[in-house]
């Protein structure tokens, strides 16, 4: 084992705070990168569902985007 105790492993001869902070930042960035697409997709699905409900309420079909007259 490289360190004599848990305290020595956490302290790393004075470099511990920098090393552990780098690990925490790296894990936070990785977690954000892995969860961002799912959050974006969930938000898009909610937005599309709201658009479909609004269009259905106006008598338009779910696939209706708009017409040439702009109404």
Total number of domains constituting the chain: 1
Residue 5 lies inside a defined structural domain of this protein: no
Question: CA-to-CA distance for 71 and 57, rounded, in angstroms?
Answer: 15
Please return the burial class of 24, using the count of CB atoms within 10 Å of its CB with bins 0-12, 13-18 and 19+: exposed
What are the tens digits of pLDDT across the range 16-37?
A: 899 999 999 999 999 999 999 9
What are the tens digits of pLDDT across the range 1-21?
A: 587 888 888 888 888 899 999
What is the DSSP code (8-state) at residue 69?
T
Residue 52 lies inside a defined structural domain of this protein: yes
Task: For the full predicted model, state whether its pTM sits above 0.85.
Answer: no
Residue 6 lies inside a defined structural domain of this protein: no
* Residues spanned by the domain of 35: 18-57
Give the CA count within 13 Å in the CB-facing half-sphere of 33: 6
Please return the burial class of 55, using the count of CB atoms within 10 Å of its CB with bins 0-12, 13-18 and 19+: middle
């Amino acid at each position: 084992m490289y360190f004599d105790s848990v305290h020595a492993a956490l302290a790393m001869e004075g470099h511990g705070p920098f090393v552990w902070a780098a690990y925490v930042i790296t894990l936070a960035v990785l977690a954000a990168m892995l969860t961002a697409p799912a959050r974006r997709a969930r938000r898009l699905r909610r937005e599309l569902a709201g658009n479909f409900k609004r269009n259905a309420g106006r008598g338009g079909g779910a696939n209706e985007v708009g017409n040439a007259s702009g109404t």
